[in-house]
Amino acid sequence: MRYLYYPGCSLEGTAIEYNLSTRCIMHMAGVELVEIDDWTCCGASAAEATSDLLSLALPARNLAIAEKMEDVDEILVPCSACYLNLKKVEEKTRGDQRMMNTLNTILAEENLRLQGRAVVRHLLDVIANDLGAQKILSLVKHSLRGLIIAPYYGCQCLRPYTVFDDPEVPQSMEPIIEATGAKAHHWDMGATCCGASHMNTRMDVGIELVAHILEGAKGADAIVTVCPMCQMNLEAHQRKISHWRHAELDITILYLPQLLGLAFGISEEELGLNLNLSASDAFLEKIQKAA
Amino acid sequence: MKTATNLDVYYEAVSASDKLAPIQEMIRACMQCGTCTGSCPNAFAMDYTPRQLWRLVLLGQKDEIFRSKTFSLCSDCYLCTLRCPRGLHLTEAMDALKQIAAGENRAEYKYSILFNKNFMQSVRRHGRVKEMEFMTNYFTAVKNPLVPFRFASLGIKLIAKGKVSVSWLPKARFPLEKIFQKVNELETPP
């Protein structure tokens, strides 16, 4: 299996461990990732708050470069915000020649042309459907039996485009978590919003949303995420939120490929676990003792 | 002078309704059912609910819309878009309101406007966002010493883990300049 790979800006900065662990587990699963040449920012949520056209032109540039590379059409994207921005161009240009022409007028400035061949895939979609629980099970060397893991999906890999899971009651992570030997925590917070950039511009509102999620995870040993923004919001403000809610809400937050990597027997260092802000010693000990 | 002032008011009203017109078109079929409000994770912090905001948009109440914090509190979760029984693209309509506010540099939304603008400036300079440069410029721009203070402990943690670089930034190459300029050209009315 081969995919083009769009890491996105966060995976070079605050989410390095998401990049490390994604590459590690994909390598173990025999999947080849070909990074898109000279990729640039997808526009995040900032472009769409400033200009509609720019918010489509920035991801379109990356899709056009991807289409020039290899004869692989599928682009693997781990970050949910990048995924949605790239997917939006795929969806909005399909059957809309006017939109395609407008974007190509812009891309012509860089001698690029979008043909509409690229298919954008979220990492979770690829893990759940292309690899599947059976493949994950076959790679497990260190069972995580005894652990309870809360699957957190966030918003933008699920909505507005319903590609690979139920957009309100997602379940795609559960068989994968259970393939590692761990149990999935049953809760109804998996598809609720983490507040996105509110944590920067309206911390009072962001904290309220994250507090509900952390409270919902009571009883689980860790929460797993599939988005750098969700990860940062859930892990970076736990002490403040606990203090403010008068409750012990500290919990380990991991990226899904980090959890899978631990079950595959990959070292904590290779998975970048030292880079997480919330991986507790108690949790890491429990992982060692599991199985 | 008096005539000029009246004309100014008139032109402002015309251009206001011009700007709202595409958004009114997007949500014309709104039947005020309130599913958006019931679905919104941020409704608790809003002054007008999303449902009320759509009514204001259809009524062309620009002053009231841009006195409200409602659209700036949309976190793009797409739950309202998913559930709207009329199939309206409500999250995109929220974004369109954010774009008007940013275009007019409205002081009421200073924090989110400066956050987004400084983000896009870093992308324009380097092609990829450089988090340290972007956050430093954002803190400088908001001119509120309490804001960087709130992020100090997180910033130190991130630097210690080598997740944000404190070394000198690479020189700006402006690799996306042609794209930014062409978008700007297409968006400027003739």
Q: Which residues of A touch B42 (CB under 8 A)?
A: 193, 195, 198, 205, 209
A-to-B residue pairs, Cβ atoms closer than 8 angstroms: 161
pLDDT over threshold 50, residue B1: no
B59, B36 contact by CB (below 8 A): no
Residue carrying the six token digits 């002054």: B47
pLDDT over threshold 90, residue A116: yes
The C-alpha torsion from A195 through A200 and A202 to A205, rounded to 10°, is 30
**pLDDT tens per residue across span A52-64:** 999 999 999 999 9
* pLDDT bucket at A70, cuts 50 / 70 / 90: confident
**A290 contacts: CB under 8 Å, gap ≥ 6:** A142, A143, A144, A145, A146, A147, A181, A182
**pLDDT tens per residue across span B59-83:** 999 999 999 999 999 999 999 999 9
pLDDT at A228: 98
pLDDT at B8: 61
Residue of chain A whose alpha carbon sits nearest to that of B166: A13
Domains of chain B: 2-104 (1.10.1060.10), 109-187 (no CATH)
Query: From CA A110, how far away is CA B185, in angstroms rounded?
Result: 15
* Architecture, CATH, for domain A132-289: 3-Layer(aba) Sandwich (3.40)
Amino acid at A245: R
B36, B54 contact by CB (below 8 A): yes
Please name the residues between 156 and 175 in chain B that touch chain A, using a CB distance below 8 Å: 157-158, 161-165, 175
Q: How far is CA A237 from CA A201, A224, B138, in A?
A: 14, 16, 20
**B165 contacts: CB under 8 Å, gap ≥ 6:** A13, B130, B132
- H/E stretch holding A106: helix A97-107
**pLDDT tens per residue across span B174-184:** 999 999 999 99
HEC sequence for chain B: CHHHHHHHHHHHHHHHHHHHHHHHHHCCCCCCCCHHHHHCCCHHHCCCCHHHHHHHHHCCCHHHHCCCCHHHHCCCCCHHHHHCCCCCCHHHHHHHHHHHHHHCCCHHHHHHHHHHHHHHHHHHHHCCCCHHHHHHHHHHHHCCCHHHHHHHHHHHHHHHCCCCCCCCCCCCCCCCHHHHHHHHHHHCCC
Residue of A36, A40, A278 to mutate, testing the B interface (most B Cβ within 10 Å of its Cβ): A40
**pLDDT tens per residue across span A203-254:** 999 999 999 999 999 999 999 999 999 999 999 999 999 999 999 999 999 9
CA A248 to chain centre: 26
Q: β-strand A148-151 against A183-184: which pairing, if any? A: parallel
The reply to whether residue A195 touches residue B111, judged by beta carbons under 8 angstroms, is: no
Query: From CA B31, how far away is CA B90, in angstroms rounded?
Result: 13
**B35 contacts: CB under 8 Å, gap ≥ 6:** B80, B83, B84, B85
A101, A57 contact by CB (below 8 A): no
pLDDT at A114: 97
* pLDDT bucket at A291, cuts 50 / 70 / 90: low
Please name the residues between 188 and 227 in chain A that touch chain B, using a CB distance below 8 Å: 192-193, 195-198, 200-205, 208-209
Least Cα distance to A115 among A164, A71, A55, A160 occurs for A71
Peptide bond connecting B22 to the previous residue in cis, omega within 30 degrees of 0:
no
Local structure of A4: helix, strand or coil: strand
Residues A16-45: what's their mean pLDDT? 97
Query: From CA A189, how far away is CA A234, in angstroms rounded?
Result: 12
pLDDT at B2: 45
Q: Specify the DSSP class assigned to residue A186.
A: P
Domains A2-122 and A132-289 share a fold: no
pLDDT over threshold 50, residue A17: yes
Q: What angle do CA A153, A159, A163 make, to 5 degrees?
A: 90
A160 touches chain B (CB under 8 A): yes
Residues B131-158: what's their mean pLDDT? 89
Q: Which residues of B touch A159 (CB under 8 A)?
A: 77-79, 81-82
**pLDDT tens per residue across span B90-143:** 999 999 999 999 999 999 999 999 999 999 999 999 999 988 889 889 999 999
Residues A99-110: what's their mean pLDDT? 98
Residue carrying the six token digits 């409200």: B68
Residue carrying the six token digits 């995420």: A225
- H/E stretch holding A77: strand A74-77
The reply to whether residue B119 touches residue A102, judged by beta carbons under 8 angstroms, is: no
**Between B172 and A135, residue with greater pLDDT:** A135
Query: From CA A224, how far away is CA A258, in angstroms rounded?
Result: 9
The reply to whether residue B179 touches residue A197, judged by beta carbons under 8 angstroms, is: no
The reply to whether residue A57 touches residue B179, judged by beta carbons under 8 angstroms, is: yes
**pLDDT tens per residue across span A247-287:** 999 999 999 999 999 999 999 999 999 999 999 999 999 99
pLDDT at B7: 58
Q: Which residues of A touch B176 (CB under 8 A)?
A: 40, 58, 61
**pLDDT tens per residue across span B16-62:** 668 999 999 999 999 999 999 999 999 999 999 999 999 999 999 99
Domain ranges of chain A: 2-122, 132-289
**pLDDT tens per residue across span A133-165:** 999 999 999 999 999 999 999 999 999 999 999
Pick among 1.10.540.10, 3.40.50.80, 1.20.1050.140, 3.40.50.720: CATH of A2-122: 1.20.1050.140
B82: its two tokens: 């998913």
